[in-house]
Amino acid sequence: MMSDRIRRLGLQFSWRAAAAGIPLFVIYLLVYWVTATLIFLIVPDARGLRSIAFTAHVPVWLMLVFLIGNAAFEELAVTGFVIASLAEKGAAIAVTASALLRFAYHLYQGPLSAVSVIPLGFLLGALFWRARNLWPLIVAHALADVVVFVLSAYRG
């Protein structure tokens, strides 16, 4: 019973699946960059919009634990659970619901970030629908979160 749930949610770990998250991270960055560029071309004033900036007042190791845990939770809850729950409705509905939920809970980051995660939501949702494995998504998301954290720490 439990192994069926683990398989359905894509949580069976393999190093190969986890390593697939590294090239997925590069694709993740490219999709985000293309989306942000298109937004800037369509709405030039979007360059002035700032996302939430944060300053960490916790040890770096603790922030890394939080970022990795957050990536795992988001992919499990938003991608894995939503798509697995809506699988009987078909890929289009399941993946779209997952992408729109991802958009909705990124609204606090500002309009640029929120809109930019829509194509990422479709990309990650479609990959999960096809492969039924969350580990590449978790690794790619965690790497992206760590990169954003490091860049925001230097931007200060």
The pLDDT value recorded for residue 104 is 94
> Which residue segment(s) compose the domain that 125 sits in?
2-155
- Segment 35-76, tens digit of pLDDT: 888 888 888 777 666 555 555 577 888 888 999 999 999 999
Return the DSSP state at 46. Answer: G
- Segment 108-126, tens digit of pLDDT: 888 888 888 999 999 999 9
User: Measuring CA to CA, how many Å separate 47 from each of 28, 29, 89, 112, 120?
Assistant: 21, 18, 39, 9, 20
> For the residues 86-115, what does the mean pLDDT come to?
92
User: How many other β-carbons are positioned within 10 Å of the β-carbon of residue 80?
Assistant: 23
The SS3 assignment for 152 reads helix
The pLDDT value recorded for residue 48 is 64
Best CA proximity match to 96, nearest among 79, 77, 71 = 79
Name the pTM for this structure.
0.83
The pLDDT value recorded for residue 39 is 86
Helices 21-42, 111-131: inter-axial angle, 10-degree rounding: 140
Count of the separate structural domains present in the chain: 1
